[in-house]
């Protein structure tokens, strides 16, 4: 835990008691703040109380006494409209902060020589894999790497601040919306495509939130930017024009004259101008597909900026065990392979998985995003058959009509069972059953992780030699 002493002896409201909210409440109490915690969900409140967090109905409190409102990133801050407690804080001039801002201030309060390094990673897709990969590389190279944030361990639940440590943090757009003080020694931006637009008031707000990862970078810091989409290309050019910060461009589509390229899986380092082949990413079996080549190139660039040698970085990339719920092979039964890509909660993420395999039995559906699966139409020729579940099933069936075979399975259990029967009867060599929903999970599951674990258990019940989940920890 990282104790937060900034509010010692003062009253602090904490609203939202999921993983990050609980960690914030504990860290504030460890720093001697008087914590008043609340959540609208009764079950969540009960879990917090069982964890020793004092509850106080913030709807009935005198807000004039609060020094701050610590807001869970999942709760609307500005759009589509501020939560009622956010409005109450604003009316009483109570500052609204998030867990990442508390972390940032704790780091900045230390003497410069005592501060750890901070590597921040954001993007619409790929940030969890890239975060876990950077952490793995640093650990394999003997560094004290602590991985968390929006992945695995909440930032304030991580080991206490230490000058020789490197905090590798996945940063969501929600978290970035609430930071002002965060300084990343290395800031990684992977890609930007439409997502969470309701929470940011449109595309401009979403882009602005992502750009905040570079907010406090200084000369000598590094901005690693993948330039495979026009938005990130513009951001990279803008930062390079301003000067000061080192901009390290990466790409899985273009052979860069200066940067890191991973075209067709061949990793090249041309940071110093001359392209040097580092290795072949086909030797990293847990990083298939062009999107993972981009992730690997970004992770390589981040680690190079921290002074690690190319050969040691690539050796660590090859040994990366992969990330749970992201193109994770969870089992095989009679030659049929089961791939868990539950983390693919939008069409762009599902596209990456569909591109990685020539043919799949595709399980999709849940709570649909605004774009649906229409953008995936060019890849429907890779779908032997689709098995549709959840709220999106009817809409997805209309999109697939006449373009790919499908059935409305309804539930994940039925989808896996039917897909397995069809794949086994196909006579294909190593058919793939791919759970890549292109949807949020909240109609049938608590979150994408619960959906992925349910998929794993269904495979086990079918008799598969299900593999052990790989979970990143700090």
Residues annotated within the binding site for ATP are 123-129
Query: Which residue, chain included where needed, has tokens 């190593």?
Result: 430
Ordered strands of the 96-97 beta sheet: 34-38, 11-15, 66-71, 96-97
31 pairs with which residues across the strands? none
Element (H, E) at 420: helix 412-426
The Cα 376–Cα 241 span in angstroms is: 35
Cα dihedral: 38, 39, 41, 43 (round 10): -60
The string of DSSP codes covering 61-85 is: S-GGGEEEEEE-TTS-SSSS---HH
Cβ atoms 213, 192 nearer than 8 A:
no
Reduced to 3 states (helix: H, G, I; strand: E, B; else coil), residue 95 is: coil
Q: Distance of CA 447 to CAs 78, 345, 366, Å? A: 23, 10, 11
Q: Rounded to an integer, what distance in angstroms lies between the CA atom of residue 329 and that of residue 362? A: 14
Reduced to 3 states (helix: H, G, I; strand: E, B; else coil), residue 421 is: helix
Binding-site sequence positions? 123-129
HSE of 397, CA atoms in CB hemisphere, 13 A: 12
Q: SS3 for 396? A: helix
Report the alpha-carbon distance of residue 474 to residue 459 in Å, rounded.
29
**How far is Cα 189 from Cα 466, in angstroms, rounded to an integer?**
34
Helix, strand, or coil (residue 277): strand
């Amino acid at each position: 835990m990282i104790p937060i002493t900034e509010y010692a002896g003062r009253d602090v409201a904490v609203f939202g008691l999921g993983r990050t909210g609980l960690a914030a409440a504990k860290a504030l109490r460890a720093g001697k703040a008087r914590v008043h915690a609340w959540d609208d969900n009764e079950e969540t409140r009960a879990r917090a109380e069982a964890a020793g967090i004092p509850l106080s109905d913030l709807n009935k409190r005198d807000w004039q006494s609060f020094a701050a409102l610590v807001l869970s990133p999942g709760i609307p801050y500005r759009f589509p409209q501020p939560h009622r407690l956010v409005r109450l804080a604003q009316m009483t001039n109570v500052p609204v902060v998030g867990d990442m801002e508390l972390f940032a201030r704790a780091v900045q309060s230390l003497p410069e020589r005592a501060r750890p390094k901070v590597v921040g990673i954001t993007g619409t897709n790929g940030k969890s894999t890239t975060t876990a990969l950077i952490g793995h590389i640093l650990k394999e190279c003997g560094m004290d790497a602590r991985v968390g944030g929006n992945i695995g361990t909440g930032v304030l639940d991580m080991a206490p601040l230490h000058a020789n440590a490197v905090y590798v943090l996945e940063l969501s757009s929600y978290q970035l919306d609430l930071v002002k003080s965060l300084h990343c020694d290395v800031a990684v931006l992977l890609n930007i495509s439409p997502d969470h637009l309701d929470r940011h008031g449109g595309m401009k707000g979403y882009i602005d939130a992502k750009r905040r990862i570079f907010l406090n970078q200084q000369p000598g810091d590094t901005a690693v930017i993948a330039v495979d989409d026009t938005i990130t290309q513009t951001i990279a050019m803008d930062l390079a024009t301003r000067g000061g910060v080192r901009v390290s461009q990466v790409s899985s589509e273009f052979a860069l004259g200066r940067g890191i390229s991973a075209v067709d899986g061949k990793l090249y380092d041309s940071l110093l101008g001359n392209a040097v082949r580092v290795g072949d990413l086909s030797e990293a079996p847990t990083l298939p597909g062009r999107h993972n080549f981009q992730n690997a190139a970004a992770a390589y660039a981040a680690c190079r900026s921290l002074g690690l040698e190319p050969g040691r970085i690539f050796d660590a990339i090859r040994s990366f065990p992969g990330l749970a719920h992201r193109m994770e092979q969870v089992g095989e039964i009679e030659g049929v392979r089961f791939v868990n890509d539950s983390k693919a909660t939008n069409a762009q993420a599902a596209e990456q998985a569909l591109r990685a395999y020539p043919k799949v039995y595709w399980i999709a559906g849940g709570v649909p995003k605004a774009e649906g699966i229409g953008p995936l139409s060019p890849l429907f020729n890779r779908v032997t058959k689709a098995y549709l579940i959840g709220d999106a099933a009817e809409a997805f069936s209309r999109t697939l009509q006449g373009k790919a075979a499908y059935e409305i399975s309804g539930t994940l259990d039925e989808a896996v069972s039917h897909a397995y029967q069809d794949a086994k009867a196909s006579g294909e060599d190593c058919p793939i059953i791919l759970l890549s929903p292109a949807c949020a999970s909240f109609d049938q599951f608590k979150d994408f992780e619960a959906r992925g674990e349910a998929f794993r258990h269904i495979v086990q019940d079918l008799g598969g030699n299900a593999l052990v989940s790989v979970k990143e920890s700090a």
